[in-house]
Amino acid sequence: MNKIQAIKRIEKLRSIISHHQYLYHTLDAPEISDSAFDALVHELNDLENKFPDLALSDSPTQRVGGQPLKEFKKVEHISRMNSLNDAFSQEDIQKWLDRLANLDIKNIPEFYCDLKMDGLAVELKYVDGVFVQGSTRGDGLIGEDITQNLKTIKSIPLKLNGPTSGEIYIRGEVFLTKKEFERINKEQGEKGGKMYANPRNTAAGSLRQLDPSITASRKLNFYAYDLMDTDNKFKTKKDKYEILNTWGVTTNPDGKVVNSIEEIEKFKNQWEEEREKLDYELDGIVVSINDNKLYEQAGVIGKAPRGGVAYKFAPKEAKTIVEDIQIQVGRTGVLTPVAHLKPVSIGGTTVSRATLHNMDEIERLGVKIGDTVMVGRAGDVIPDISQVLPVLRTGNEKDFHLPKKCPVCNTSIKKEAEQVASYCPNTDCPARQRETIYHFCSRNALNIDGVGPKIIDALMDAGLVQDYADLYFLKVEDIQNLDRFAEVSSANTINAIAERKNVPLARFVYGLGIMHVGEETARVLAQHFHTLEKLSEASEEALTAVEDVGPVVAKSIFEWFKRPYHRNILKKFEKAGLKIIEDKGLVRGKLFGKTFVITGTLDSMSREEAGQRIRSLGGKVSSSVSKETSYVLAGSDPGSKYDRAERLGVKIINEEDFLKMLHF
DNA sequence: ATCCCTCGAGTTCA
DNA sequence: CTCGAGGGAT
């Protein structure tokens, strides 16, 4: 980026950041997520570092942010309440140590590592051991008097269990547990009040209540992180924490002293992994020089003391650019727009694509090609665009439109009026056929091990396979002649296919890939008709009579078996010697009539196996919890289903209970 | 017609 | 995991 561009960009970023600072700090009503905001500040910081002459003293990066609301009395802080510089990697920490070394602070023997709760900094004033005043950080110099509200917090002692004379100033973080956040938000929702975005905003909103009884109804927490020590009575940060604790002031119990950069890294990694286990939100750790004298010696630059850094966890969201939006054709012909992103690292892995689901989603987000977006991960796994930052548009963004023709086979795209998705109606579309064969080989269908997309693509491109029945006619020589295939792997492929010449009816029906027939419906159909022959000859009426099969599904199945193309495929299977194992019908075992939902990880078996055992005893396994569910089987690290079960009062059993249930 | 429960389908990276 | 939509109960 050249200087002219940088100037423009910096101006733009400054105005956007100021605007959002106002929304966030003064109105408690942010419009963009915290990480989106952080990303903006970060970019501005980088630019200002690159072009130091463009950095201005009134830049938002130079301010701590936030003017006090006029309703509260103003309080001047004893000394400026600063905020720490951020570090995002071990290199950043190393740079910090290098800068300290330049100041002649070398070979620091001890660091204090503390957890960084995501909350609000406050200052408490005690006179003669009695809590007399508390204030928010405000702009760093002047905060708001929220004494009455702070008095409602149980972990802030009204009287210190210690010194009974003189003035004492304590700083710390007020925060909210995740549980309490949910409770408050639920209550707000029921009252039709404003919903909070996250625990931090809720804590901020709660502290700024003009009526302390409202604050009291919300259980806020407090951990101290500093004791103002004007006459240097304490040697280390740890000493301060210990004396605070004896006075009855809590500090974070998980903080500890470490001796090296490696240990800092270890501490950070440990808590980054375990953060979910805590009942409050963490956004990183704070690393400080443990020795107070050295800490002071490091001094303050701008708004940030140099004796400590906030070592932030990898954000769960990151800012990136949508380079293109492309269309994918699925097995059923549904067209899915996928955003191709400028690669970005989120929580340790690099993300370059994210699904946009359908046109409705694109409209809801308002995303255009070239837009800057925030990408997170739904359920911690699947990349997902959470919001667009339209303020960063340059005017060169392009709207995305669905093509009129299938990008693969050029057939005209169709869309049912009341449905969201558009689709390619051509059942012979190569993209659809490919996906159909992948599906046939997939784990829950025929489970042909080692025959994945790559091999299937190669076989199709060579014209060796047109449909999934062709797989059973392949010979080792056929595959060997293809590029990239060695003798061994071709033999393995053939063996893997041959191993699946006896298959249970339910799996086979699922593998066929009939519209609206998934695993569960395939099982029900198999139980009901027992053989493929009977299923294939069933009338629409007979199909509709089956539990869970209505007119739409019945028609889809009926028409599938009617098509000559499919009849021919079934004949080929027969010719290849495929044996379909007859289904014995419904089992009336001891779990008959019981519905299970499985969540979390089990020790003694996979969830798949557990499901099979349940079904073999006549039980059902469902994917979502409702009041119809008999038991939720919870392994370790259960997901959201556990909470839902609790809320609905569904019986939750652990693995041990489950094993007993199987055996008795 | 309308709600609730389930199922189906699509999805990313290492 | 999440969304959309089919099936069935009301």
Pick the most confident of A201-210, A425-434, A645-654.
Answer: A425-434
| pLDDT(A419) > 90 | no
A272 against A49, higher pLDDT: A272
Nucleotide nearest to A626 (CA to C1'): B5
Nucleotide nearest to A553 (CA to C1'): C6
- Å: A513 CA to B7 C1': 15
- Å: A333 CA to C6 C1': 18
- Whether the beta carbon of A242 falls within 7 A of nucleic chain B: the reply is no
Query: Strand C footprint at Cβ < 7 Å?
Result: A 357-358, 360-361, 378-379, 381-382, 419-421, 516, 544, 547-554, 599, 623-624, 639-641
Quick one: which residue's CA is nearest to C1's C1'?
Answer: A379
Q: What is the mean pLDDT of residues A597-624?
A: 84
Looking at domain A318-422, does it have CATH number 2.40.50.140? Answer: yes
Looking at domain A3-62, does it have CATH number 1.10.287.610? Answer: yes
A398 is catalytic: no
For residue A267, what pLDDT band results from cuts at 50, 70 and 90? very high
pLDDT of residue A565: 92
- Whether the beta carbon of A351 falls within 7 A of nucleic chain B: the reply is yes
Domain ranges of chain A: 3-62, 74-312, 318-422, 595-663
Token pair 């400054």 is found at: A14
- Å: A136 CA to C9 C1': 55
Q: Are A595 and A625 in contact (CB under 8 A)?
A: no
A37 against A159, higher pLDDT: A159
Residue A329, number of CB atoms within 10 A of its CB:
22
Contacts of A521 (CB under 8 A, 6+ apart): A548, A549, A553
Give dist(CA A292, CA A301) in Å, integer. 17
- Whether the beta carbon of A377 falls within 7 A of nucleic chain B: the reply is no
Positions on chain B within 7 A of a protein C-beta? 4-14
- Å: A650 CA to C9 C1': 21
A93 against A183, higher pLDDT: A93
- Å: A187 CA to B2 C1': 27
For residue A88, what pLDDT band results from cuts at 50, 70 and 90? confident
- Å: A524 CA to C5 C1': 19
> What is the spatial order of strands in the sheet that A335-346 belongs to?
A349-355, A335-346, A318-329, A372-378, A382-388
pLDDT of residue A482: 73
Quick one: which residue's CA is nearest to C8's C1'?
Answer: A548
- Whether the beta carbon of A620 falls within 7 A of nucleic chain B: the reply is yes
Nucleotide nearest to A382 (CA to C1'): B12
- Whether the beta carbon of A248 falls within 7 A of nucleic chain B: the reply is no
Quick one: which residue's CA is nearest to B4's C1'?
Answer: A626
Q: Are A85 and A61 in contact (CB under 8 A)?
A: no
Q: Are A253 and A209 in contact (CB under 8 A)?
A: no
- Whether the beta carbon of A355 falls within 7 A of nucleic chain B: the reply is yes
pLDDT tens for residues A96-127? 999 999 888 988 999 999 999 988 999 999 99
Contacts of A97 (CB under 8 A, 6+ apart): A108, A261
pLDDT of residue A574: 94
Task: Read off the pTM.
Answer: 0.68
Give dist(CA A420, CA A357) in Å, integer. 10
pLDDT tens for residues A501-524? 899 999 999 999 999 898 888 998
- Å: A331 CA to B4 C1': 29
- Whether the beta carbon of A334 falls within 7 A of nucleic chain B: the reply is yes
Q: What is the mean pLDDT of residues A419-435?
A: 86
Nucleotide nearest to A518 (CA to C1'): B8
Q: What is the mean pLDDT of residues A206-211?
A: 82
Among A404-408, A442-446, A515-519, A638-642, the least confident range: A638-642
For residue A67, what pLDDT band results from cuts at 50, 70 and 90? very low
Q: Name beta bridge partners: A338.
A: A326, A355
Regarding the domain delimited by A74-312, which CATH topology (the fold level of the hierarchy) does it fall under? D-amino Acid Aminotransferase; Chain A, domain 1 (3.30.470)
Nucleotide nearest to A552 (CA to C1'): C6
Nucleotide nearest to A624 (CA to C1'): B6
- Whether the beta carbon of A629 falls within 7 A of nucleic chain B: the reply is yes
- Whether the beta carbon of A519 falls within 7 A of nucleic chain B: the reply is yes
Q: One of A12, A50, A70, A116 is an active-site residue; which one?
A: A116
Q: Are A539 and A557 in contact (CB under 8 A)?
A: no
pLDDT of residue A95: 92
Give dist(CA A99, CA A511) in Å, integer. 62
Nucleotide nearest to A364 (CA to C1'): C3
- Å: A230 CA to C3 C1': 59
- Å: A122 CA to B14 C1': 43
pLDDT of residue A532: 94
pLDDT tens for residues A275-313? 777 888 888 899 999 999 999 999 888 788 999 999 988
Residue A351 CB burial class (10 angstroms; 0-12, 13-18, ≥19): buried
- Å: A181 CA to B1 C1': 38
pLDDT of residue A531: 92
Give dist(CA A500, CA A129) in Å, integer. 79
- Architecture in CATH of A595-663: 3-Layer(aba) Sandwich (3.40)
For residue A195, what pLDDT band results from cuts at 50, 70 and 90? low
> How high is the mean pLDDT of chain A?
85
Positions on chain C within 7 A of a protein C-beta? 1-8
For residue A211, what pLDDT band results from cuts at 50, 70 and 90? confident
Nucleotide nearest to A520 (CA to C1'): B7
